[in-house]
Chain A
Amino acid sequence: MYRYDEYDQTLVDERVRQFRGQVARRLAGELTEDEFKPLRLMNGLYLQLHAYMLRVAIPYGLLSAAQMRRLAHIARRYDRGYGHFTTRQNIQYNWPKLEDTPDILAELASVEMHAIQTSGNSFRNTTTDQYAGVAADEIEDPRVYCEIIRQWSTLHPEFSFLPRKFKIAVTGAPNDRAAVRLHDIGLIMRRGDAGETGFEVIVGGGQGRTPFVGPTIREFLPKKHLLSYLEAIMRVYNQLGRRDNLFKARIKILVHEAGAEKVTEMVEEEWRHIKDGALDLPAEEVERIRAHFAPPPYETLAAAQPAFEEKKRADGAFATWADTNLAAHKVPGYAIVNLSLKPVGGIPGDATADQMDAVADLAEHYSFGEIRVTHEQNLVLADVRRTDLHVLWRKLRDIGLATPNLGLVSDIIACPGLDYCGLANARSIPVAQRIGNRFADLKRQHDIGELKIKISGCINACGHHHVGHIGILGLERKGEEYYQITLGGSADQDAAIGKIIGPAFSSEDVVDAVETVVNTYVELRQNGERFIDTYRRVGKEPFKERLYAAA
């Protein structure tokens, strides 16, 4: 993984000093809250319903064991013993003290981490495929370009006061695990005519109150032009993005109102002036960064692992987990292991400090000391020998991270909702917990198959409900929580925005409603169809009929 050199380290150290000064000025009353707010937000510090909240950047979701241990330490020493992994592959702490935040940032800097731009109207953490570098279907490792983008977008002098926040996602594989079409900018690695690699560039996707699947504005961008092209997009957006209405300020609205063609034209015109200039990274710098992502020293192993197969035959619970939570690795004899942060009845994405420490140990023993965070709020050990899987599984089970539910009905994305968030209209976590409990029978979950439920507590859609196969949106009506259900959303390469199925359900009824949708699918499905396949074949009517038949 990328390691800081003296320059990277200097920047985060200086940033800690700078923020320490800003906090001191705030506590002394030299800065008003209005003046301090943008400064704290540029360092990921929010004020939420109960307390401050600190969001720590995990660049493209990649962590070393030492970094994970530091996150655990911070949870214990400065917070309440846990952290929450987010859909931007970051982690957030719900109870830090303002007075402690400079020390927390210093702790982070000591392990090459920071909280820069995890909030505010600037570039946010660039996200990617959690299987980057190891996926069997990958064209090229996207993390090299994520790191290049991370550096370029850090404290960018021109783009630190954008109309609104800005999110970039990159995938190196055609199977999109990073929801790139739902980002302000999405980049998909493609091959050009001569077999060279470059990017398809998508602009103006997003969720929130007006969701869009982003259009492609350039089919193929040679890699060397990446930063100049991004800068051209940003310069157009910074000048023309709407600043009169917070809800219309994202680039998706500019793309929607001006049209993708017009935006493309403006971007290309701007790019004409700046391409082949100072933003072309020297090849040796790209190679320097690439070297950090060199494959770890894999052993030469046979693709077939009889011992692993034997364990599966002998141990049904292990087999279930292996069939559900593993993904294909590009190197023979290795597997990608998903650690579910969605235990039945648990809080999606939460991990205790003890779990974090344990994962760090397991990463060191079994996966070259690295951990990934997924946008679906789970963790990944990406490089595990198949012969180690059984013992790893037992250890994961001991710490509650072996729930075999990856991609299943209880693997739910949920925003923090009204339990924590000042913007929320309704709670999200308890709905996720109740759905998890309703479908607690794993056999039933496996019979249902791939089904992505995503829950947001308000229209800002932090819980990605628009792209859930089943999406749930919390509303408030006369002081009561209600939940609107959408069906047919998807965040992958066939991205789609879900359709509202009908009137919202009370908190009491929403879990029954989800179960009715699931049962309807089970009755209608043909020949191994997934939920989303059946939905696409039959449309929303049969579901609607069943849901509202009694009314």
Chain B
Amino acid sequence: MALQVVTANRIGDGTVVYLTRGGGWSERIADGQVSRSDEERDALMAVARAKAEIPEVVEPYLIDVVEEAGVVRPVRYREEIRAQGPPVHPAFGQQAAGG
């Protein structure tokens, strides 16, 4: 079972966010709630879709992640860039905060 987290963009300002354990949204993927089973995954997406209805966020979707030494990282490079900020602008996004 692949590990996954839910990501989306915040409705008002478009910022990339991750669904957290408390059912909120964080700009840090590290705060993301990791699903470890089909049931957990479906439950997370149900929460996210409900929040997209409000609307708190836009277009929530699941991404595959890996956990290395307790740190959550996206599998795909695209999602790594999305999580960190554009590599050509190191001052923008989470990369500026040191990850």
Contacts and interface: CB of A to CB of B under 8 A. Distances in A.
A302 interface: no
Contacts of B59: 33, 47
B53 A97 contact: no
A80 interface: yes
A47 B87 contact: no
Interface of B is mostly: loop
A142 B78 CA distance: 42
B13 A50 contact: no
Interface band, chain B: 20 to 34
Contacts of B76: 479
Given A418-B77, A419-B81, A99 B55 contact: no
A80 B13 CA distance: 13
Interface in B43-91: 52-55, 58-59, 75-78, 81-82, 85-89
A430 B11 contact: no
Contact of B78 (A51, A347, A418): A418
Interface residues of A, number: 29
B9 interface: yes
Contacts of B88: 347, 419, 427, 429-430, 433
A197 to B, nearest CB: 45
Interface in A79-129: 80, 95-99
B12 A97 contact: yes
Nearest to B13: A97
B14 interface: yes
A50 B54 CA distance: 21
A418 B76 CA distance: 12
Interface string A462-476: 000000000000001
Given A29-B54, A50-B93, A99-B12, 13 more contacts: A26-B11, A27-B12, A32-B53, A33-B52, A47-B9, A51-B13, A98-B11, A418-B78, A419-B87, A429-B88, A433-B88, A479-B76, A480-B77
Interface of B: 9, 11-16, 52-55, 58-59, 75-78, 81-82, 85-89, 92-93
